[in-house]
Amino acid sequence: MTQTKAVRTVPRQIWVATRNAHKVQEIAEILGAGFLLRSLLDRPDLPDVEETGSSFYENAAIKARSLWNIVREPVFADDSGLEVDALDGRPGIHSNRYSGPEHTHEKNISKLLVELRSVPPERRTARFRCTIVYIDAAGSESSFDGVFDGYICDEPRGTEGFGYDPVFVVPESGKTVAELDAATKNSISHRGRAVVALKRLLENAR
Ligand code: IMP
């Protein structure tokens, strides 16, 4: 009689250089059970790095390299943000601190809506962008991009997600991202697309 041996796969540990719990949760859901995701939330002892780059790529690389230099294990960082056409691409790489040193997601949204108050619906087009920089255990780097197109509505709706989700509308459904469940957001979002590309690389590198 032949016996089939159960194959138990051990999740692969990978670090993500963020303290944003929402991002960690989104990324963990996309990577799935095959990966053990660790983040800076597990390492309160490490200092925050200054995001001094002038592009999503440069900031993601700064964050990923800083963590890799400490753990010397597979790491990645994402840098993401919102580009609004009527604001010449702002807030862009400054999305997180858009409303200043005391920024919160609510203050960022209020500032955005004030800046767009006289802009008509057809000119409120925008996109989220995400760039991931991944560094393997040997120090070799790869990067992945994701884009999510939509437009900015004139008042917040919904309670899911984070950041600008309550004012970013998905054209196909007319819903804001904060009105979508997590799985639906991940299937169409900038971060979802970039993480799926990273996951493909990791699975092929097995
Ligand atoms: P980061 O942590 O430097 O990448 O900053 C990202 C900032 O861009 C966040 O704090 C949000 O303001 C905005 N952002 C990025 N991704 C999203 C998203 O999926 N939904 C809403 N806002 C986002």
- Rounded mean pLDDT, 179-188: 95
Q: What is the 3-state secondary structure (H, E, C) of the chain?
A: CCCCCCCCCCCEEEEECCCCHHHHHHHHHHHCCCEEEEEHHHCCCCCCCCCCCCCHHHHHHHHHHHHHHHHCCCEEEEEEEEEEHHHCCCEHHHCCCCCCCCCCHHHHHHHHHHHCCCCCHHHCEEEEEEEEEEECCCCCEEEEEEEEEEEECCCCCCCCCCCCHHHEECCCCCCEHHHCCHHHHHHHCHHHHHHHHHHHHHHHCC
Per-residue pLDDT at 30:
93
Per-residue pLDDT at 8:
57
Question: Above 80 in pLDDT, residue 138?
Answer: yes
Distance between alpha carbon 151 and the CA centroid of its chain, in Å? Answer: 18
For residue 101, name the pLDDT band (cuts at 50, 70, 90).
very high
Closest approach atom of ligand 1 to CA 168: 21
The token duo for 26 is 């989104």
Top mutation candidate among 50, 94, 96, 103 for ligand 1, by most atoms within 8 Å of CB: 96
**Angle of helix 21-31 relative to helix 190-204, nearest 10 degrees?**
50
- Rounded mean pLDDT, 146-155: 98
For residue 110, name the pLDDT band (cuts at 50, 70, 90).
very high
Active site residue 79: yes
Per-residue pLDDT at 197:
97
Residues 30 and 75: their CA atoms lie apart, in Å, by: 16
Residues 160 and 185: their CA atoms lie apart, in Å, by: 10
For residue 9, name the pLDDT band (cuts at 50, 70, 90).
confident
Question: Above 90 in pLDDT, residue 200?
Answer: yes
Per-residue pLDDT at 3:
58
Per-residue pLDDT at 6:
61
Question: Above 80 in pLDDT, residue 2?
Answer: no
Which residues, including other chains, have CB under 8 Å from residue 198's CB and lie 6 or more apart?
76, 132, 134, 142, 144
Residues 104 and 96: their CA atoms lie apart, in Å, by: 8
Residue count (the chain) = 206
Per-residue pLDDT at 5:
59
Report which protein residue has its CA nearest ligand 1's atom 9: 96
Top mutation candidate among 80, 152, 179 for ligand 1, by most atoms within 8 Å of CB: 80
